[in-house]
């Protein structure tokens, strides 16, 4: 294993450049003629965050408030977001509920989430006891509501949009290997902190893993990045030594002597959380799903109930893709569902697979066309009126075995 930074050979992964006619010396005026791919194989990089990361903190606040609403009224329609900066949190959005939370209850839950994430003082990142909590919650627009809740009991999509679900046979979790490993690194950080195994760890942290895939060879970690917040009295050399050992234990089957380690590469990481970087709900949807290996529609998940197809249909698409892969019909599968506001079923369904024969592709498309991807069907099939969402904001929305959409039960068919 090597530690970064390292120099890269001038012959690898450099664009061939020439000056544009009449151009001055600025690099921005040079034309890129070609980009030569690495000859040693494809490299894929994914990242993950700890629960103390400021964006993930806001996700957890949003989903904790959604869960609290669902406990009191399972038919709550909810779109709650949170922003955090310094020692302040702003909770805002729209809620339609028979028993909505009061501002005082929202404030109490917000403080509890911050406390559970591990923050204790404003100097660490945010103080759960003294931080300012601003609440701006409005009723759901009647113009939206009329398209969602139909008089016959049907539920229309709450907005237009495209969502994606993906699965691969690369790992038991059905997720890309670099994403699984990045998550294991952040899980290891959290476990070491909460068990006090590494007493100087603090809540904020991120991990990133790069995997090289080469034909006929096992995948290997070419590099990893681990950035972890720590106490002010921890020496950076000790931090790097301890966390490098922790990371290599997690990455052991895939790390080699050539793996490059970047552990707290900027130096000390004492100031974290919203004090160091502002947080916002929905900014980590790529890390929360497929790490950039598959598409994402762009809509946030956290804080949204099942009528919001940004979330519910993305779960349903993942559920269906997972069934395709685990049934052996394909080695990977990506499903896209497109919706129109107020319309029950998707206006378009697209599937892309690897490893499927022509007949298997036809079978997959036929079964998807017969599946029920209406908001109501998804909510009932995946039990989305139950308060299960705060944990997804903390641990990730896919790849966790306890989640209903991670099972391989059959997709409900549309009613004739």
What is the predicted pLDDT for the residue at 145? 86
Question: Do the beta carbons of residue 63 and residue 236 sit within 8 Å?
Answer: no
Mean pLDDT (the chain, rounded):
90
- Work out the average pLDDT over 13-18: 36
Q: Measured between alpha carbons, how far is 114 from 121 in angstroms, rounded to an integer?
A: 10
Which CATH class for the 161-171+279-406 domain? alpha beta
Q: Measured between alpha carbons, how far is 300 from 400 in angstroms, rounded to an integer?
A: 19
pLDDT of residue 287 exceeding 70, the answer is yes
SS3 334: strand
List Cα–Cα distances, 321 to 241, 284, 326, 363, in angstroms.
41, 22, 9, 13
Strand ranges of the sheet holding 220-230, from the earlier edge strand across to the other edge:
2-3, 255-263, 220-230, 201-213, 42-49
What is the predicted pLDDT for the residue at 146? 85
> 317 or 41, which is more confident?
317
Q: Is 54-140 the same fold as 44-49+177-276? A: yes
| Helix/strand/coil percent split, the chain, to 5 | 30, 25, 40
Length of the chain: 416
Alpha carbon 250 to chain centroid distance?
Answer: 20
35: tokens are: 């980009």
What is the predicted pLDDT for the residue at 205? 98
- % the chain with pLDDT above 90: 84
Q: Measured between alpha carbons, how far is 210 from 203 in angstroms, rounded to an integer?
A: 24
What is the predicted pLDDT for the residue at 34? 36
Question: Do the beta carbons of residue 326 and residue 168 sit within 8 Å?
Answer: no
pLDDT of residue 3 exceeding 80, the answer is no
pLDDT of residue 413 exceeding 70, the answer is no
List Cα–Cα distances, 157 to 128, 137, 163, 174, 381, in angstroms.
36, 22, 12, 28, 16
Q: Give the closest residue to 221 by CA, choosing from 257, 187, 188.
A: 257
Query: What confidence tens digit (pLDDT) does each residue in 45-57 have?
Result: 999 999 999 999 9
Query: What confidence tens digit (pLDDT) does each residue in 105-122 have?
Result: 999 999 999 999 999 999
CATH number of 54-140: 3.30.300.10
- Work out the average pLDDT over 372-394: 97
Spans of all domains in the chain: 44-49+177-276, 54-140, 161-171+279-406
What is the predicted pLDDT for the residue at 412? 55
Strands in 161-238 per DSSP E = 161-168, 201-213, 220-230
Half-sphere exposure in the Cβ direction for 245 (13 Å, CA): 7
What is the predicted pLDDT for the residue at 4? 66
What is the predicted pLDDT for the residue at 348? 97
Query: Looking at domain 44-49+177-276, does it have CATH number 3.40.50.740?
Result: no
Q: Measured between alpha carbons, how far is 216 from 200 in angstroms, rounded to an integer?
A: 42
Q: Measured between alpha carbons, how far is 325 from 413 in angstroms, rounded to an integer?
A: 19
Label residue 247 by pLDDT band (50, 70, 90): very high
Which of 8-22, 68-82, 208-222 is least confident? 8-22
Q: Give the closest residue to 275 by CA, choosing from 84, 415, 79, 147.
A: 84
Which of 114-123, 135-144, 296-305, 330-339 is least confident? 135-144
List Cα–Cα distances, 310 to 123, 139, 303, in angstroms.
36, 20, 11
Question: Do the beta carbons of residue 281 and residue 43 sit within 8 Å?
Answer: no
What is the predicted pLDDT for the residue at 216? 87
Q: Measured between alpha carbons, how far is 297 from 313 in angstroms, rounded to an integer?
A: 11
What is the predicted pLDDT for the residue at 310? 96
pLDDT of residue 35 exceeding 50, the answer is no
Label residue 380 by pLDDT band (50, 70, 90): very high
Label residue 414 by pLDDT band (50, 70, 90): low
């Amino acid at each position: 294993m090597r530690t970064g930074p390292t120099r890269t050979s001038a012959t690898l992964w450099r664009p061939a450049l020439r000056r544009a006619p009449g151009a001055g010396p600025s690099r921005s005026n040079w034309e890129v003629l070609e980009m030569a791919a690495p000859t040693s194989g494809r490299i894929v990089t994914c990242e993950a965050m700890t629960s103390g990361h400021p964006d993930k903190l806001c996700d957890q606040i949003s989903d904790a408030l959604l869960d609290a609403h669902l406990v009191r009224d399972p038919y709550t329609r909810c779109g709650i977001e949170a922003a955090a900066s310094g020692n302040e949190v702003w909770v805002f959005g729209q809620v339609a509920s028979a028993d909505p939370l009061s501002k005082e209850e929202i404030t109490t839950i917000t403080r509890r989430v911050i406390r559970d994430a591990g923050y204790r003082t404003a100097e660490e990142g945010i103080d759960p006891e003294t931080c300012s909590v601003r609440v701006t919650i409005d009723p759901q627009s009647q113009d939206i509501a009329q398209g969602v809740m139909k008089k016959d009991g049907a539920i229309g999509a709450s907005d237009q949009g495209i969502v994606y679900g993906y699965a691969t046979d690369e790992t038991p979790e059905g997720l890309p290997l670099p994403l699984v490993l990045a998550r294991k690194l952040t899980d290891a950080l959290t476990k070491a902190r909460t068990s006090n195994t590494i007493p100087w760890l603090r809540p904020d942290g991120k991990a990133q893993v790069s995997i090289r895939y080469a034909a006929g060879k096992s995948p290997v970690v070419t590099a990893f990045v681990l950035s972890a917040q720590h106490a002010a009295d921890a020496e950076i050399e000790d931090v790097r030594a301890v966390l490098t050992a922790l990371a290599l234990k997690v990455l052991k089957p895939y790390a080699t002597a050539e793996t490059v380690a970047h552990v707290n590469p900027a130096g000390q990481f004492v100031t974290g959380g919203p004090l160091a970087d502002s947080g916002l709900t929905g900014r980590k949807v790529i890390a929360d799903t497929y790490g950039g290996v598959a598409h994402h529609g762009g809509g946030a998940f956290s804080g949204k109930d099942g009528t919001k197809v940004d979330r519910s249909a993305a779960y349903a698409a993942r559920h269906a893709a997972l069934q395709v892969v685990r049934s052996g019909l394909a080695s990977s599968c990506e499903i896209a569902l497109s919706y129109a506001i107020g319309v029950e079923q998707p206006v378009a369904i697209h599937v892309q697979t690897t490893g499927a024969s022509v007949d298997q592709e036809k079978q997959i498309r036929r079964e998807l066309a017969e599946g029920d991807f209406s908001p109501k069907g998804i909510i009932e099939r995946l039990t989305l009126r139950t308060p299960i969402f705060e944990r997804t904001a903390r641990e990730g929305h896919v790849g966790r075995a306890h989640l209903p959409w991670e099972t391989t039960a059959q997709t409900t068919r549309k009613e004739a």
